[in-house]
Amino acid sequence: MYNRDERPLGAVAESAYESLLETMDADSGIPRSDAHAQLLKADFADGDAEYALDQLLNRGYLYSVDDQLFVTEAADIDAHREV
Q: Per-domain residue ranges for the chain? A: 10-82
pTM beyond cutoff 0.85: no
Phi (first) and psi of residue 19, to 5 degrees: -65, -45
Is pLDDT at 46 greater than 90 in this prediction? yes
Residue of 16, 61, 63 lying closest to 36 (CA atoms): 16
Reduce the DSSP state of residue 53 to 3 states and report it.
helix
Q: pLDDT digits over 52-79, tens only?
A: 999 999 998 999 999 899 988 765 554 5
Tell me how long the chain is.
83
Alpha-carbon distances of 7 from 16, 37, 55, 57, rounded to whole Å: 17, 26, 11, 13
**Fold that domain 10-82 belongs to in CATH:** Arc Repressor Mutant, subunit A (1.10.10)
Q: pLDDT digits over 9-19, tens only?
A: 899 999 999 99
